Chain A
Amino acid sequence: MRVQVFSTLRGALGGRSSVELEHVGTWSVKELLAELEKQFPGFREKLHEGVSILVNGRNIAFLQGLETDVPPDAVVSFIPPSAGG
């Protein structure tokens, strides 16, 4: 599984833009967050209001929220409020 963070959230993964996590079976987003907090203490604290979480490109707001399944080969993106054009 690949976890990626963008722009102002890079500090959450210790300055990295992505990390690979290995696990067997399917986690929920809630379980993934707990694992990330364990590996990168303070991770959850950095997810300020308005951060979107995508599982394979789909915002979990349109799936099952924090109960959304995260398969072992998923790409999970944490996106801070962004805009442009």
Chain B
Amino acid sequence: MFGWIGQVLRVDLTKGKISVEKLDSGLAEKFLGARGLASKILYDEVPPQTDALSPKNKLLLFTGALTGTGAISASRYNAVTKSPLTGTIAASNSGGYWGPELKFAGFDGIIVEGASEAPVYLWVEDGHAEIRSAAHLWGKSTHETEDILRGETDPDAKVLSIGPAGEKLVRIACIVNDKNRAAGRSGVGAVMGSKKLKAIVVRGTGGIKVAEMKAFRDTVLDILKNKVKPNATTGVGLPAYGTALLVNVINAHGIFPTFNFRTGIFERANDISGEKLAETFLVRKKACFSCPISCGRATVIPSGKYKSSGEGPEYEAAWALGADCGIYDLAAVTRANHLCNELGLDPISLGSTLACAIELYEKGYLSREQAGMELKWGDGEMLVKATELTARREGLGDLLAEGSYRMASELGHPELSMSTKAQEYPAYDPRGAQGIGLNYATSNRGGCHVRGYMISPEILGSPQKLDPLTTKDKAAWTKTFQDLTAAVDSAGICLFTTFAIGAPELADMLKYATGIDYTVERVLEVGERVWNLERLFNLAAGILADKDTLAPRLLNEPMPEGPAKGLVVKLGEMLPEYYKLRGWSDEGVPLEATLERLGLA
């Protein structure tokens, strides 16, 4: 095969058995890889009603057709499983170097099934794999684990692991690779922890064959020279300031969620911005495999009580750990973000869950005794302490570890959880960007911006400007963004490339890499196929159309200030049109004709 390697590793942790299987080339062509292909395998092998933390759930770590090929920003792998946070299908995506290394070692993906009785790690080296004891690693941070395992195996090995949060089955735990890159959302780290799988260490010295080398190389170089580098976002803004340059931008638009989404303007936003980070803790920028954008931020807090080094915060983390909790102490936010990487926590869900807890406390629904500490807006020390407690499920952390929806429901006030399908929203208040509201409501993994980034046309004006305050045309745009994103994720390239390129460039890279005649239409069809497959999984899991909604605050409480003052999300104006455009029934179920057209019947 070209682009793909053609082999998959299957690891049964219950039996301690490892086997190598051929990749089904027909499925690879239809689903590309990563998010798409792994979702298809999960759908075929795991009944959707399965308990996410039981041995019957499987964890698939899959690369895409372009991962590791040298295509633009082709570093990605996806962790696909049933989510213990949402009950939906989970597909969490990460960059760095682990994904390409897996292909260099001779595998497109790994299917992990069953569960070990004692902690183990998997060592994969050039076509071979073995299960080893991880007894000495249990309880250690992702950074400690990586250092120890590289010492035990190969200094050039790439390591993916969970921290204490995954071990403790924290529902907002992530999987971390290359120390600071994360498959962050939907609690995929808890699934790995439930299998007692501490890490997967990979070393590969092989290569990847592409079908038409010259055409592939010329296409990639043309995209680099004429699209990505000259683009003001991918060539200037992201390299210079990282994603956190959005802090001031989104705040200026009045949709920077503050105090658990009670308003959209944070007075001290600049104190936690990318510009401020560049003036203070930024040491250098950092890139993933074959990425010319280099949005990663290596950061060091040189002294004081938060002294530490690591990466980030990214925009989302700066918001969740900062503005959403009313915190403008950048050192505390940065330290908490470093801890999230080390302990294996999703900073979006953590920050939003803490913000929810502060509001519950303030309203008297969570007592001082239950919390075990005082909770108040703007307290950086509280944030750092809560992060450590959550990863270990101690005290307040045991409540936060369940995510905001379960925590708030347990305390009798689910309406204070800013989530859809129990996953916390990211850093955009949809009352001032209606399209992102529709995307949150319909996202197949719950509250999420990177399933269909409507902020791009609504706020950033790319590829064209759409008025963020209106609902006109938002259903069609949301569908297109969701489908294109599913294809990008399945190909194994970074979503950030789409600020500079679109489906035509993706189709060209896929065509020359795989030798298959991918076109714009075929690429978007792959995305639509993946989207519908995910929907089928969720429906079979019992997640029905009534869950395509938003937190009551966003639907009923008008934005109190700023350009969206007086507005709520007009979901009812968009959702029926969205279902229709998707070829779904009024109940949000894909029609037979739709499934037949997509080859899913």
Spell out A's residues near B (CB within 8 Å).
Answer: 4, 6-8, 10, 17, 48-50, 52, 54, 56-59, 61-62, 75, 77, 79-85
Contacts and interface: CB of A to CB of B under 8 A. Distances in A.
Contacts of B449: 85
B563 A80 contact: no
B467 A57 contact: no
B571 interface: no
A6 B245 contact: yes
Contacts of B315: 84-85
Interface in B233-275: 233-234, 236-238, 240-246, 248-249, 252-254, 270, 274-275
B228 interface: no
Nearest to B562: A57
A83 B248 contact: no
Contact of A57 (B246, B248, B254): B254
A50 B232 contact: yes
A6 B236 contact: no
B270 A82 contact: no
Contacts of B455: 85
Given A7-B245, A10-B275, A61-B465, A83 B254 contact: no
Contacts of A4: 248, 252
Contacts of A62: 465, 467, 469
Contact of B462 (A7, A59, A75, A81): A81
22 contacts: A4-B248, A6-B248, A10-B275, A48-B232, A54-B253, A57-B253, A57-B564, A58-B563, A61-B461, A79-B252, A80-B232, A80-B237, A81-B236, A83-B234, A83-B496, A84-B238, A84-B244, A84-B314, A85-B243, A85-B246, A85-B315, A85-B495
B365 interface: no
Contacts of A6: 245, 248-249, 252, 275
Interface of B: 231-234, 236-238, 240-246, 248-249, 252-254, 270, 274-275, 295, 314-316, 426, 449-450, 453, 455-456, 460-462, 465, 467, 469, 495-496, 499, 562-564
A48 B236 CA distance: 12
B275 A17 contact: yes
A84 B241 CA distance: 10
A7 B276 CA distance: 10
Nearest to B275: A7
A82 B253 CA distance: 13
B241 A7 contact: yes
A84 B242 contact: yes
B563 A81 contact: no
B562 A17 contact: no
Given A7-B237, A80-B232, 7 more contacts: A6-B248, A7-B275, A8-B237, A56-B562, A59-B461, A82-B233, A82-B246
Contacts of B253: 54, 57
A7 to B, nearest CB: 5
Contacts of A17: 270, 275
B237 A82 contact: yes
Contact of A84 (B243, B252, B462, B562): B243
Given A57-B563, A61-B465, A83 B499 contact: yes
Contact of A54 (B245, B252, B316): B252
A44 to B, nearest CB: 17
Contacts of B456: 83
B572 to A, nearest CB: 23
A69 B252 CA distance: 18
Given A4-B252, A77-B252, A84 B245 contact: yes
B319 to A, nearest CB: 10
A77 B499 CA distance: 22
Contacts of A79: 249, 252
Nearest to A4: B252
A85 B451 CA distance: 11
A56 to B, nearest CB: 6
A53 to B, nearest CB: 11
B563 A83 contact: no
A75 B245 CA distance: 19
A50 B274 CA distance: 20
Nearest to B466: A62
Contacts of A10: 275
A72 B449 CA distance: 36
A43 to B, nearest CB: 18
Contact of B237 (A52, A56, A83): A83
Nearest to B255: A57
Contacts of B242: 84
A49 B314 CA distance: 26
Given A7-B274, A80-B232, A85-B426, A57 B238 contact: no
